[in-house]
Structure 1
Amino acid sequence: MSRRAPLARRIFLVTVVVAVLTAMVTAVAVLQLARAGDAEEARASLGLQAERLANARPATRAALVEGLAELAGSDARAAVVAADGSVSGTAPAPARVVAALLDGEAASTSARADGVNWIVEARPSADGGGVVLARDATSVRAVTPAIALRVLLALAIGVVVAALAALVAARTLSRPLARLAGSARRIAAGERGVAPAPSSVSEIADVEAALEALDDALTRSEGRQREFLLSISHELRTPLTAIRGYAEALRDGLVPGAAATEVGATLEAEATRLGRFTDDLLALARLEAEDFPVVLAGVELGPVLADAASAWTGRATALGVALVAEGTAATRTDAGRVRQLVDGLIENALRVSPEGSTIRMTASLVGDRAVVEVADGGPGLSADDAAHAFERGRLRERYAEVRPVGTGLGLSIAARLVERLGGAISARSGERSGAVFRIELPPA
């Protein structure tokens, strides 16, 4: 497992490394510029001296040149070029320099003589020929170490200042991030309503806002789950209470023989209701699992709707409700899962459809998608109902005291099942009355 360094340490190290590299590059550039400046300054000085010698009287010029020649080991040399091209003196005088002087032109160049690199400046004289002065290039750079020492000292001070600034910056940046990490850990531990201290750094402020939004979303989600579990617990408690009460009565012999049939029917109805709750919860849990089985094949939807209508006709007739299945469309889906969807929608529709109304199931092809619609004759849905119809227990919570409701899980199960089939489901009010649930399935 790799060890992770704290952000403050990384910022500090990166800043120091950048500062050191910058100082090294700056030192090299400054030293190169210093050397170039020294060479230019030496050439200018040497050229000025050559100019003065060239303009001096011939006797004075010869004496100075002779004096420089007598200085053994001197880093400066001189030579005189006569009008006939002859050279006297110790300074190196390349042929091109002599030619320039004879043409009355100045020369500035470098030459190597006696194993030494020389800076050469030559100036023509009025009487023909001229003067050549040379200086050891090594002596020109003799001042560079002193300059380099000062430059390196200044850069070292800069690196130290940069390190201190990096330390302050690292702590300044890492402190709010550490607070954010602490807030995230508190949220992960189950604490809600955690408000991180606001930061002046825009990017960190964005993370803080996102963390607060996550906190709010978790709070709302957990609140809905809590309310949903409470409502489910209440619904489970009701049939369990009835079953327990009748069971105790039967155990104590309080139910006469004549009432046994009625008690049995009540127990059966409550057990069926309890089983429906359990089945819905299990179905929802299975839909959340990754290995939920879906077998895709070519399917004609007309026969699927006809089979569903046939299966529910008995119950619909008992309630005085007509079931109609019409149309067909080809699609690639799981026929059993589509039947499961349609059964759930029919059960919901029968719960709210009044006597004498009709539940209409239609299959059609809209564009390249197969569409199944189940329309009932109930009270319909508002726009807000349609927008939130497939949230767990939302409609049940809203209409529990107004009209017959189910477990609150059926439409949520339908939405997850359609999603697994690669389709989409929506709800709206009918054109005249009732609600219409529309299932769109992938094309064949």
Structure 2
Amino acid sequence: MRRGSLTVHVALLTTAVATVAVLLTGAFAWWVIRSTSEAQERDQLAAQAEVLSRTPPLAAAMLGRQERIAGPTGTMLARVRSSGEVEGPAAEVVTASRRAALLSGEEVSATATLNGRHMLVEGVPTPAGGGLVLAQPMSTVDEASARMRTRLLLPLSLGLVGSALAGALLARRLARPLTSAAAVAHRLAEGERGLRVGTHGPTEVAELAGALNSLDAALARSENRQRDFLLSVSHEIRTPLTTVRGYAEALADEVVTGDEVPAVGRVLTGEVQRLETFVGDLLSLARLEADDFRLEVTGVDLGSLLTRLSDVWTPLCARHGVGFRTERCEGPLMLRTDGFRVRQLLDGLIENALRVTPAGGPLVVAVRPRAGGGAVLQVRDGGPGLTEEDAAVAFERGALTTRYRGVRPVGSGLGLAIAHRLTTRLGGTIAAEGRAPEGGACFTVRLPAEPPTSAASVLRASR
């Protein structure tokens, strides 16, 4: 469906509004002009009657002379004598009530029909008693109204044209920054970066421009991170592949023979396991970021989970000379969550901590209730810790691996990103602190009493 441009829509809308406003104004002015013309004619007729009432015997002659000078106006006169007798061409318009009003000294202002014509009637009392009445055809009001209405058409037309032009200019002013913003959005979609949209114009347009500028900066940052991550991935894969290829060629060329073969096999096995770990981390992160990720929500006792965790990690840490211990509250600590994913989260944090903790150092996993419901999980180590800059980017993919490769033991660079995504899926938050009481880093996970319900991400299981 083809849509009209915003400029056309705004111009048409403003023109329509202006047309309605002009029509309403014209209708009101039409009525006002008629009322004003009638009031002016009545004032003039009343003033004329007032002048003639001072010399009633000469009134007819004076009126006739005035008409001879100014031209026929159709004005007719009636005289009410003090005795109540009515005489003159306009005697028919002097009703009993009007005659009584004049005899009592009151003025008369009315309309009447005389000889089939609609007339304005104005009467004033005379000094000697009685009164003088003038009747003027209503056609004089119509003529005056027509003249004034003719003069009104031009300003109304100019107002309508001016409104249409103003609407077109306004539409262009509004549409220009929007068109510019749309062009920038299309260029962003095509992959261009470093574009800027001017933030002039109305507030809403300026906000849109600012949002596009922010989007451009965010896309640039995101793509730079992705580029750095891909470089990191290629580096992580290239090293074990180079080792595997070198030893494979050595075996194929029979450079390695005899007693050297088992040692080479162990090296190849280690490199392949390294590749498997890295690919597994990539797949885990991809699954966590998928829209169809599911949680198996059940009742979980974190105390029991911590016991099973200790049974596994205590001997593993002991092999590296690291002292593993747990801190927990007394009694069960129940949550409605996915126990498998919580265990996966803790395993990843412990593995990351064990990698950097030197022999003789501690590794602590603590679990305690959270105020208001839920639980707080901590993994603390006695390693080198993190700087404030490290903590700020700890959960970005490959950030710490790139920073500390060759300085301290590093993994695939995905472990902490997986931990962050897992925590988010569980409805919790995770934070990194540079210094723990044990001297190393501290990772704190806060889980709710129950993950937020979402049909797309949570599958409840009743057990």
Whether TM-score is above 0.5 comes out as yes
Q: Match for 1:442 among 438, 443, 448?
A: 448
Q: Is the 8 A contact 2:314 2:325 kept in 1?
A: no
Aligned residue in 2 for 1:9: 8
Partner SS state of residue 296, structure 1? strand
- Give the TM-score normalised by structure 2: 0.88
Partner SS state of residue 257, structure 1? coil
| 1:286 matched to 2:284 | no
Once the two structures are superposed, residues 66-117 of structure 1 have per-residue CA deviations (whole angstroms, 9 ceiling, x without a partner) of 999xxxx974332111212232234311333212211122222233455543
Once the two structures are superposed, residues 24-82 of structure 1 have per-residue CA deviations (whole angstroms, 9 ceiling, x without a partner) of 22222222222122111111111122112211142x236678999xxxx9743321112
Report deviation, 1:300. 0.9
Q: Match for 2:356 among 343, 347, 352?
A: 352
Aligned residue in 1 for 2:253: 252
CA distance in 1, matches of 2:356, 2:79: 124
Aligned residue in 1 for 2:366: 362
Partner SS state of residue 259, structure 2? helix
1:330/1:202 CA distance change after superposition, 3 Å: closer
1:63/1:225 CA distance change after superposition, 3 Å: same
Aligned residue in 2 for 1:272: 273
2:384 is aligned with what amino acid?
P
Aligned residue in 1 for 2:85: 86
Aligned residue in 1 for 2:134: 133
CA distance in 1, matches of 2:290, 2:401: 25
Q: Is the 8 A contact 2:106 2:124 kept in 1?
A: yes
1:326/1:172 CA distance change after superposition, 3 Å: closer
Q: Is the 8 A contact 2:382 2:438 kept in 1?
A: no
1:383 is aligned with what amino acid?
E
Aligned residue in 2 for 1:46: 45
Trace 1:270-419 onto structure 2 (pairs within 5 A).
Answer: 270-328=271-329, 329-367=333-371, 368-419=373-424
| 1:149 matched to 2:150 | yes
Partner SS state of residue 136, structure 2? strand
2:193 is aligned with what amino acid?
R
Identity %: 45
CA distance in 2, matches of 1:44, 1:366: 89
Q: Is the 8 A contact 1:325 1:361 kept in 2?
A: yes
Partner SS state of residue 194, structure 1? coil
* Unaligned ranges ≥5, structure 2: 67-71, 451-463
CA distance in 1, matches of 2:238, 2:73: 114
1:145/1:284 CA distance change after superposition, 3 Å: same
Once the two structures are superposed, residues 375-406 of structure 1 have per-residue CA deviations (whole angstroms, 9 ceiling, x without a partner) of 11111122222222111112112211210011
Partner SS state of residue 256, structure 1? coil
Aligned residue in 2 for 1:242: 243
Aligned residue in 1 for 2:20: 21
| 1:207 matched to 2:215 | no
1:74/1:379 CA distance change after superposition, 3 Å: closer
1:33 is aligned with what amino acid?
V
- Give the TM-score normalised by structure 1: 0.92
Once the two structures are superposed, residues 310-366 of structure 1 have per-residue CA deviations (whole angstroms, 9 ceiling, x without a partner) of 222332121111221231522111100000001101111110111122211121113
Aligned residue in 2 for 1:61: 59
Partner SS state of residue 152, structure 2? helix
Q: Is the 8 A contact 1:12 1:170 kept in 2?
A: yes
Partner SS state of residue 358, structure 2? coil
Q: Is the 8 A contact 2:56 2:126 kept in 1?
A: no
1:421 is aligned with what amino acid?
L
